[in-house]
Amino acid sequence: MASIVENIQRTLTRIREAEDHAGRAPGSVKLLAVSKTRSPDEVREAHSAGLRAFGENYLQDAMTKVEALADLTLEWHFIGPLQSNKTRAVASHFDWVHSVDRLKIAQRLSDQRAPERAPLNLCIQVNISAEGSKSGVAADEVYALAQQILPLPNVALRGLMAIPAADLSEAEQHQAFARMQRLLEQIQPLSPGIDTLSMGMSDDLEAAVAEGATMVRIGTALFGPRRPLN
């Protein structure tokens, strides 16, 4: 099996080729390594190969790593579903939250983020494939939620995140990601700080980069098949 270091090289090459193919500047897309279910040592290995930003879905699993890796300077991104009783830990230990889907969660994160720290970066999660089961706000609710989040003092609204349905054709992936780009353009006039489109995973990063992703969230292609949480 390929090593994490080899997988990182291969993934960075995929991103660079996708940027090039789309006529985008090299380095315009940031790699977020999704380390959910991975061990602290695997994150350490990815860090020694140059990665700094890591995405986590489950608070307990994440906190083990945040504590075990406190000697490293890492950027932690919370990308999983977020319930109210988890916001305090997330506001203290993370740098980004990609999965904001209601005002109440953003308000709690702002209230619980220490004002002397850098603001917590937020993305609104959009239910771009409009499936009943997926989390995220409907496309037509994004603008109003962005307007409500922007005045909150200890958070910074950075953009939008989406996880399109898993069974889309390549053409449908492109359409979903293109809708995200248009939604981002609609909210950008609200604030100059809105600059992030978090979309694209191991299987669809090329389509996401072609349609304007600025951050791709990659797990399997870096760390191999996912492990069950015990």
Positions in the binding site for ligand PLP (CB under 6 A) = 34, 36, 57, 79, 163, 201-203, 217-221
Identify the DSSP state of 95: S
CB-nearer residue toward ligand PLP: 64 or 154:
64
Residue nearest to ligand PLP (CB): 219
Could you tell me the smallest distance in angstroms from the CB atom of residue 174 to ligand PLP?
Answer: 18
CB-nearer residue toward ligand PLP: 19 or 204:
204
Could you tell me the smallest distance in angstroms from the CB atom of residue 71 to ligand PLP?
Answer: 26
φ, ψ for residue 13, nearest 5 deg? -65, -45
CB-nearer residue toward ligand PLP: 78 or 187:
78
Could you tell me the smallest distance in angstroms from the CB atom of residue 7 to ligand PLP?
Answer: 11
Sign, CA dihedral 50-52-12-19, equals negative
Could you tell me the smallest distance in angstroms from the CB atom of residue 153 to ligand PLP?
Answer: 27
Beta strand 75-78 with 120-126 is unpaired
CB-nearer residue toward ligand PLP: 57 or 87:
57
Q: What length is written for the chain?
A: 230
User: How many Å apart are CA 58 and CA 81, to the nearest integer?
Assistant: 8
DSSP labels, 40-87: HHHHHHHHHTT--EEEES-HHHHHHHHHHTTTS--EEEE-S---GGGH
CB-nearer residue toward ligand PLP: 50 or 81:
81
Place of tokens 């992703």: 213
Could you tell me the smallest distance in angstroms from the CB atom of residue 170 to ligand PLP?
Answer: 16
Could you tell me the smallest distance in angstroms from the CB atom of residue 156 to ligand PLP?
Answer: 20
Helices 40-48 and 59-68 cross at an angle (nearest 10°) of 60
The rounded radius of gyration (Å) of the Cα atoms in the chain is: 17
User: How many Å apart are CA 150 and CA 130, to the nearest integer?
Assistant: 25
CB-nearer residue toward ligand PLP: 63 or 111:
63
